[in-house]
């Protein structure tokens, strides 16, 4: 049986959560999109579907943090 697919917003949040964990462990430069995909147990293409670059992930994390300040 196929695994249910998460909604786009939920999938993006999972990528951001995984990226934040890995950035804390390895730094931004020490973390690759492949590492994020491996951490989530998905393909790198699945990460690319949500974010085209690591810079987009960093910016999304910044925007998420900034939203908590308001």
Query: Quick one: three-class SS letters along the chain?
Result: CCCCCCCHHHHHHHHHHHHHHHHHHHCCCCCCHHHHHHHHCCCHHHHHHHCCCHHHHHHHHHHHHHHHHC
pLDDT tens-digit profile of 31-68? 999 999 999 999 999 999 999 999 999 999 999 999 99
Q: Would you state the pLDDT for residue 2?
A: 46
Please state the pTM of the whole predicted model.
0.84
pLDDT interval class at 7 (50, 70, 90): low
pLDDT tens-digit profile of 21-32? 999 999 999 999
pLDDT interval class at 1 (50, 70, 90): very low
């Amino acid at each position: 049986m196929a695994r249910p697919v998460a909604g786009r917003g939920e999938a993006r949040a999972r990528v951001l959560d995984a990226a934040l964990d890995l950035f804390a462990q390895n730094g931004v430069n020490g973390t690759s999109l492949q590492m994020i995909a491996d951490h989530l147990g998905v393909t790198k293409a699945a990460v690319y579907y949500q974010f085209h670059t690591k810079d987009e992930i960093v910016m999304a994390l910044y925007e998420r943090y900034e939203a908590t300040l308001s």
